[in-house]
Structure 1
Amino acid sequence: MILQILSYVWALLCKVLTRYTVTFCIGCLVLYLMYWVRVRRYKHSLFQRLGIPYVKPHLIHGSLFTLRGKDALATNVIGEWLKTYGDVFGYYMGDKPTIVIKDLDLVKQVLMKDFNVFSNRPKVAIKINPITHTLIGLRDQRWKDVRSVLAPTFSLAKMKLIMGIMNKRVDELLEAVSKHNTKSENLEWYSIFQGLTLDVICECVMAMKRNCQRDQNNDEFFALTRTFLKHAMSPVLDLAVCFSILGEVFAFINNKLAFSGRMTNMIVSHVKDVLKIRRQDLSTKNIDLLQLMLEASGYQKEYDTKRSSIQNGTSTMNGTSTSNGTAGVKKEQPSEPNSKSGREGPKNKNLSDEEIIANVWVFMLAGFETSANAITSTAYLLACHPDIQEKLFLELSEHIEDGHKHITYDTLHKLNYLDQVFSEALRVFPPVVNFITRDTNKDFQLGDYFIPNDTDIMIPVWQIHHDPKLWPDPLKFDPDRFSPEAKASNSRHPMSYIPFGAGPRSCPGMRFAQMEAKMAIARLVRTHRLESCEQTPIPLEFTLPTVTHVPAQDVIFKAIPRE
């Protein structure tokens, strides 16, 4: 009897407690949601409090889905906002404030004059490896240290050494174009140039030889890379932008479980193997950016010490390259960064393997898509403007006897009109449009505007390059805008043309990208006449899956062999 009573009392108590517990939890949730809404609205009132024109934000996503909507193109959206709100205005990504600045004096102040305040890129929404160890993800002093170590890898002398690799890959491009012509096939140029740039970047940066041009359909790495970039902006990333706490959760899960895509895993595994092999074999010196990173890192002292012991023993290094088809290339003697200026180098010149691998990864992705976009746009514009193409062909014929022969750096440097053509193509179709961004590291008065700490700044490259006040008839393809005469008499603002950014955070691979693109265009136009056809998309339209413009449709035109 007593046990039954106790059992009944316990059941009744549990029922009451459960009811109150549920009620309590629901009450707490409601209170938290009310608090969250209040905090969110306060954050979304920042620009109103500062007197900065702004886009009215959605409570949850801010303007995220306005910029990334199904049928939206972010550059068009920002262009409409600029017309509505002026050259300086704000919008929100989730609750993070972003200020768009098109005023060129303020742009120069952000990118160059007051760089110490705007030295960082915005924080990534999900801090996952390897991006956190790249020049994109690193911040403050560590970014300066790594940048100072990596900068010499893109020096003019180093770029000259890898021209042989680029020339050989362009040989394959011309072979592929010739094969397509014999089959009377329509040429889809964006995928062709993607194959070229991925082959080049893999061999020049990662010491990885691929066959993306010869066998695109069966090259797994080519397919994985294109898929990765196409779907880089995922729903998971959107959630992290809308709710920052989720970004921390996703980062923790990813980094703890070492969960990465197949493409990233392939790169990390390959580079680790190459680093191990090269540290064991000091008698062979390779000419690629991975080797240059090794020599610019802590590996330098280890290398010099072991090399000295080898030279003092039975083995010697003969001073010439013996691998990857670069025999006969004279070895460069390594030097300490900033040795000429007499200034002290960075506080920590040693790159960890994690940082080397991470920056190889980001150089590969950046050098693949942006270069393919730039070459595609330039070739497309030449196909649509036969008079400009003919003028370029005459210059090429004067300096290049045979387009099938390799081009030297000195020859490429003499092609002034080619430089004009490429520069104008980057103005008309800048490959990177939403990536010149900065993050303030303290409260700052920028012109008439007070910018709080931890506010993102975005420079609208597309709108600057198409501003009729800066570039009359901006949609017209006119290489003479960059002629020596135009430059000599030009009073155009230095920030009116920034395809590679400006200031200390400008693209470190600019020289590499220009050299590769100009070589490909020079040899292609020297051997083929590019012509538009019925299937050529006019005008050329774009999508924006990440921060780079990508053709929205197949880019088709003819390539007729020249006699």
Structure 2
Amino acid sequence: MTFDSFELIKCLVLIIVGCILALYFYLTRNHRYWEKRGVPGPRPWPFFGTYLQQFFKPFPETEMEWYNDYGKIYGIYDGSKPGIIVGDPDLIKQIMVKDFHVFTNRRPVKTTHTIMSKFLSSLVGEEWKRVRSIITPTFTSSKMKKIFQIMKNSSDTILEKLERAALQKNGDIDLKELYGCYTMNVTAKCAFATEPDINFVKHATKLFTFPFWRKFLDYTVPMRLLDSLKFTVLPSDAMDFFRSITANLIHQRLMTVQSHHSCDHDFLDLLMNARRVDSVEISQSIKDIDDASFRQQTDDDQNQNQNALTGLVTQDVSKTLDQNEILAQSVLFFSVGFETSSQLLTYCTYCLALNPDCQETLYDEIEKTLGMNHGRIDYDIVLKMVYLDAVISETLRLYNPVLRMERQASEDYTLGNTNIVIRKGMIVGIPVWALHHDPQYYPEPYAFKPERFLMENREQIVPYTYLPFGAGPRSCTL
């Protein structure tokens, strides 16, 4: 080897080492952000931030470890970007309700897909306000009554399957698969007025089986790079499939008046006829969420919710949804309704199987309540089943599908009396799973106790520690 060749190799090695060091320092440039400010938190790693641990253990375990080790407020990192977790109920109320104007938006969705970018859960600012004000009436109890019959028909089918299984020799049945078919059938009919076939099931499954690495890239890789690569968390072919179905249905209903009027009152029909409403009606929908989360609204709470909604109804001339917006909300309704409902039913059955006394109490209530209605089941009679409501609420506490809620600060914000400043653009996480399993709020947190949610015990639930549907104007999928 000549001297010149040796020098060239040495220069190349130095350049490579220099590039590696430069990349390392770039990726870790903010990794002492919270340490410098006296905020505890898990150790971040280059590129991965604090998400490396989630490759080796389930997220709920990781969240509980951090919550127990670092307290109710701790710092995290999305790659090199600092974020913060807030688990104090009073501060959660400030973020979700009192100072909603600062935390209106969720984590930005990194997608260039026409439909995904128009999901209500993805919209920000004035565009979210406009669409929110239009579709709010779609979720009122009077509108839900209109699709109750669709759900009942599918329920009758699943009961027949259960009865056939019970008559078989071993009587075994895969409830997860059964409930998956049931919820897919219900949401497909409610959202798309469609009976799911093999092709439908194949594309629907893709929406819920994407690997963790896709979401990890969404959290850690810069948005510009993902946009240039046309990267989306949800598979584009599945999204395009549902877009095609919904577009055809909309076209048919617009072209054929008879078809439009003779169809079931499905979600698509409600969206096509939705109109913009005022903030009073929206505030009522928030109260419905609070009722479902067992938060007793005081006059002050109602005023804060109303204040949070000030200016929500824009003067935008568009008082209806365009076709892409209808497509987006239909796909969103299906995607969030199918898997979460199936999971809830599976866990609820599991809990009742392990607690036969609760099962017996629930059975007695259902029999008694239906007897008052001559054996008929309808929307109103279901609302009278208070123990059923408690069973579902306790199941959601134990196995809530939403492990963490997130909001993005629209301006610099001082967190209560902590002197911690949340910078503009920073993501704030609410550790729902950890709150639901904190013995400070729920004694014996891993025990199934529906009585926690009965009327006589509701006052013992600390506000903003039970968040199955979120809180404030941007609760649930809103």
Distance 2:409 2:280 in 1: 32
CA-to-aligned-CA distance 1:426-458 (integer Å, 9 cap, x gap):
112212213x11111111001212111111111
| Of 343-352 and 388-397, the range deviating more from structure 2 | 343-352
Distance 1:290 1:57 in 2: 45
Distance 1:431 1:236 in 2: 19
- Which residue number corresponds to residue 452 of structure 2? 481
1:492 aligns to 2:461 (yes or no): yes
Of the candidates 63, 72, 85, which is equivalent to residue 78 of structure 1?
Answer: 63
Shift in CA distance, 147/32, structure 1 to aligned 2, threshold 3 Å = farther
**Structure 1 residue identity aligned to 2:116:** I
* 1:142-291 equivalence runs, <5 A: 142-183=127-168, 184-210=170-196, 219-233=198-212, 235-244=213-222, 247-254=223-230, 260-283=235-258, 284-285=260-261, 286=263, 287-291=265-269
Distance 2:272 2:9 in 1: 60
Matched residue pairs, number?
437
Deviation of residue 33 (structure 1)?
5.2
Deviation of residue 273 (structure 1)?
0.4
- Which residue number corresponds to residue 504 of structure 1? 473
- Which residue number corresponds to residue 315 of structure 1? none
**Structure 1 residue identity aligned to 2:200:** F
SS for the counterpart of 1:458 is strand
Q: Are 2:176 and 2:346, in contact at CA under 8 Å, matched by a contact in 1? A: yes
Deviation of residue 261 (structure 1)?
4.1
CA-to-aligned-CA distance 1:373-410 (integer Å, 9 cap, x gap):
11111111111111111111111111224999752112
- Which residue number corresponds to residue 437 of structure 1? 406
Shift in CA distance, 40/202, structure 1 to aligned 2, threshold 3 Å = same
**Structure 2 residue identity aligned to 1:178:** E
Distance 2:151 2:186 in 1: 6
SS for the counterpart of 1:457 is strand
* 1:462-477 equivalence runs, <5 A: 462-477=433-448
- Which residue number corresponds to residue 517 of structure 1? none
Shift in CA distance, 264/24, structure 1 to aligned 2, threshold 3 Å = farther
Q: Are 1:110 and 1:118, in contact at CA under 8 Å, matched by a contact in 2? A: yes
Q: Are 2:27 and 2:79, in contact at CA under 8 Å, matched by a contact in 1? A: no
1:98 aligns to 2:38 (yes or no): no
SS for the counterpart of 2:207 is helix
* 1:284-299 equivalence runs, <5 A: 284-285=260-261, 286=263, 287-296=265-274
CA-to-aligned-CA distance 1:34-89 (integer Å, 9 cap, x gap):
5443333322222123321122211121122212x14x111111111122211110
Shift in CA distance, 240/431, structure 1 to aligned 2, threshold 3 Å = closer
**Structure 2 residue identity aligned to 1:466:** H
Distance 1:352 1:31 in 2: 53
SS for the counterpart of 1:56 is coil
**Structure 2 residue identity aligned to 1:192:** L
Unaligned runs of 5+ in 1: 1-15, 212-218, 298-335, 510-563
Of the candidates 30, 38, 45, which is equivalent to residue 43 of structure 1?
Answer: 30
Distance 2:48 2:70 in 1: 20
Q: Are 1:126 and 1:248, in contact at CA under 8 Å, matched by a contact in 2? A: no
Q: Are 1:151 and 1:508, in contact at CA under 8 Å, matched by a contact in 2? A: no
SS for the counterpart of 1:147 is helix
| Of 182-191 and 415-424, the range deviating more from structure 2 | 182-191
Unaligned runs of 5+ in 2: 283-310
Deviation of residue 356 (structure 1)?
1.5
Deviation of residue 236 (structure 1)?
4.7
Q: Are 1:430 and 1:462, in contact at CA under 8 Å, matched by a contact in 2? A: yes
Distance 2:8 2:324 in 1: 48
**Structure 2 residue identity aligned to 1:38:** F
Deviation of residue 241 (structure 1)?
3.6
Shift in CA distance, 177/473, structure 1 to aligned 2, threshold 3 Å = same
Provide the TM-score with structure 1 as the length reference. Answer: 0.71
Shift in CA distance, 376/27, structure 1 to aligned 2, threshold 3 Å = same
Of the candidates 336, 340, 350, which is equivalent to residue 366 of structure 1?
Answer: 336
Deviation of residue 128 (structure 1)?
3.7
- Which residue number corresponds to residue 303 of structure 2? none
Deviation of residue 239 (structure 1)?
3.9
Deviation of residue 168 (structure 1)?
0.0
- Which residue number corresponds to residue 346 of structure 2? 376
**Structure 2 residue identity aligned to 1:37:** Y
Rg larger in structure = 1
Deviation of residue 222 (structure 1)?
2.2
Distance 1:21 1:293 in 2: 67
- Which residue number corresponds to residue 102 of structure 2? 117
Q: Are 1:128 and 1:251, in contact at CA under 8 Å, matched by a contact in 2? A: no
Q: Are 2:183 and 2:342, in contact at CA under 8 Å, matched by a contact in 1? A: yes
| Of 272-281 and 34-43, the range deviating more from structure 2 | 34-43
CA-to-aligned-CA distance 1:335-354 (integer Å, 9 cap, x gap):
x5129779994324332222
Shift in CA distance, 400/153, structure 1 to aligned 2, threshold 3 Å = same
1:107 aligns to 2:92 (yes or no): yes
1:63 aligns to 2:39 (yes or no): no
Question: Superposition RMSD on alpha carbons, in Å?
Answer: 3.0
SS for the counterpart of 1:496 is coil
SS for the counterpart of 2:230 is helix
SS for the counterpart of 1:445 is strand
Of the candidates 388, 398, 423, which is equivalent to residue 428 of structure 1?
Answer: 398
SS for the counterpart of 1:229 is coil
Shift in CA distance, 385/253, structure 1 to aligned 2, threshold 3 Å = same
Q: Are 2:102 and 2:409, in contact at CA under 8 Å, matched by a contact in 1? A: yes
Of the candidates 125, 130, 133, which is equivalent to residue 118 of structure 2?
Answer: 133
